[in-house]
Amino acid sequence: MIVSKPSKGLKVAITLMATLAVPTTAAAADRPCDNGQPKVWQAFAAFGDPADYWLAPGGDFESGASGWSLSGARVIRGNETLNVLRGRYSLALGGGLLSARSTAVTPPFCVTSEHPTFRYVLKANGLVGALSTFVRYTAADGSTHEEQVWSRTATTLLPGQWKPSDLQPLATRLPMERIGGVARVRLVFRTPVSLNGAGYLIDNVLVDPYRVR
């Protein structure tokens, strides 16, 4: 049986179709790392921090925990009282006797070296409790890693007051050059197993979009 070779015109058509059907690596990488154009404002100016911030995805919990992954954590009524961002809800981690470890993970978003840090508002919810934060990121080989960036233990016998978190490292903690300059990340909040009813409330998770201030 004789099989005829495709004509030059057909070869061109096949090549064009293949190019259109398979996006380039750069274009495919750009799409999942598009944060859009979030509103930026000096969220912590009243506390001596003049940096601009934008709200992490779902970070105000006003739409529940849309896109978040929660284990032992829940959205509750009651906004933080510092008015960093007005609303009606916040996120509770831990709490209750013999409580298991609580974890809350943000939806993914993208950072570059121009996203050095993040902050949020927190409140120790009684007794002795710990809260730790991590940055989860995807490496160039597709593997997932976590870097612990902060840990705090409250030692009060009474519920605490709402206050800004410490400035916590984001891109400054990641191997940005080895990742390729753009990292797809999730922020992770954890409280440990508790026997004494400890817990934390968090609200208004914000990302600093500029390294240079």
Residue 157 corresponds to which amino acid?
L
Task: Give the C-alpha separation, 131 to 163, whole Å.
Answer: 14
Q: Could you report the per-residue pLDDT of 154-210, keeping only the tens digit for each?
A: 766 667 889 999 999 999 999 998 888 899 999 999 988 765 666 899 999 999 987
**Reduced to 3 states, what is the DSSP secondary structure of residue 25?**
helix
- Of the candidates 168, 149, 162, 153, the residue with the CA atom closest to the CA atom of residue 94: 153
Q: How far apart are CA 167 and CA 208, in angstroms?
A: 10
Q: How far apart are CA 137 and CA 180, in angstroms?
A: 12
Structure tokens at 78: 């009651």
| Nearest Cα to Cα of residue 188 among 66, 103, 99, 116 | 103
pTM of this prediction? 0.81
pLDDT tens, position by position, 13-49? 333 333 333 333 333 333 457 787 789 999 999 999 9
Q: Are strands 109-111 and 53-55 parallel, antiparallel or unpaired?
A: unpaired
